Amino acid sequence: MKPIAVIDLGTNTFQLLVAQWHSQSGEMQVLAHEQRAVQLGKGAMKSNVLQDDALERALVALSDFKQIAMSFQCAENQIFAIGTSILRRAKNAIDFLDKVEYDLQIQVEVISGIQEAELIYNGIKNSLPKFWEHTSLVMDIGGGSVEFILFKSNQVLGKMSLEIGGLQLQSLFHVNSEYDPQIDQELTTYIQDALKPLDQLCQKYKPQVLVGAAGAFETLWDLENASIPLEERVIKSAYPLSMEYFLKHKVLVDQLPYAERVNLPGMKMFRASILPYASALIFQVLRRYDIPEMWVSSFSLKEGYWFLKQSQAHKSD
């Protein structure tokens, strides 16, 4: 089948996936996977106004992504773009989207938080080992929002989107652009209050596994496995995450100033500033709902959208 490209316009990171269906293996064949630290939401988390420099970075990234997709013979009408949290709320989002369509001929579909959760689940379920029977809570930490999906086998038990993303928390609690461990209690109280809408669902179904969707969870996995050379790593779409290593790295990441944190082996530069806030979110979810096991999936929103479009294309053939 022909390649399909999906661009995820995240609040912090823009991501590109170009892939095609490999009929012999019955799997997605990735042709290109790119990330750019656009930080579209920088300076906009409180004002809800996208800043000029962020808009410029966004247009450059989208132009580059389109060129990459077309270099893999991806047709223009098979390049899809999805907007999330910051584009749902920014006062000047429509002006930006109009410019993207006019300048680049890319039409961005801004999806709701619930649609985002559904697509994330669509990606996650295609990444986990077969016969996954655990009652599981999917957690996708974006820059603006966090999506949660509770499921068992192939049944979705509940889903929601909460506006407590990493960039959002950083905008509320940073001190001189740094993470200050002295705000831990204030941050914890804020997160606990924000998680209350999730309580009833988790108390009823008692998830056994937290499945982290890419992003900060992948960075935690990279930190855990930094000593293993890239060529020796086994490539999978989902991996278990050690609770012991998570707690160890949380303490380390919280204590280090940004200039040292960014140089940790395995740390991605564009994740370094918000990882303490993402780790605080993960820790509170694990503790609040007494979840004993954690996995990370390399699939998330863009993969879920790709599988949706691939399925639609297959039906139309």
Same domain? 194 vs 233: yes
Same domain? 45 vs 141: no
CA–CA dist 272, 284 (Å, integer): 19
Model's pTM, two decimal places?
0.93
Question: Are 292 and 240 contacting, i.e. CB atoms less than 8 angstroms apart?
Answer: no
Flag whether 233 is in a domain.
Answer: yes
Question: Are 32 and 15 contacting, i.e. CB atoms less than 8 angstroms apart?
Answer: no
Same domain? 65 vs 189: no
Flag whether 215 is in a domain.
Answer: yes
The tens-digit pLDDT sequence of the chain (317 residues) is: 789 999 999 999 999 999 999 877 778 999 999 999 999 999 999 999 999 999 999 999 999 999 999 999 999 999 999 999 999 999 999 999 999 999 999 999 999 999 999 999 999 999 999 889 999 999 999 999 999 999 999 899 999 999 999 999 999 998 767 899 889 999 999 999 999 999 999 999 999 999 999 889 999 999 999 888 777 776 789 999 999 999 999 999 999 999 999 999 999 988 999 999 999 999 999 999 999 999 999 999 999 999 999 988 877 66
Give the structural domain span for 16. 4-112
CA–CA dist 176, 166 (Å, integer): 17
Same domain? 15 vs 47: yes
Same domain? 141 vs 94: no
Same domain? 102 vs 141: no
H helices then E strands: how many in the chain? Answer: 12, 11
CATH number of the domain that residue 157 is part of: 3.30.420.150
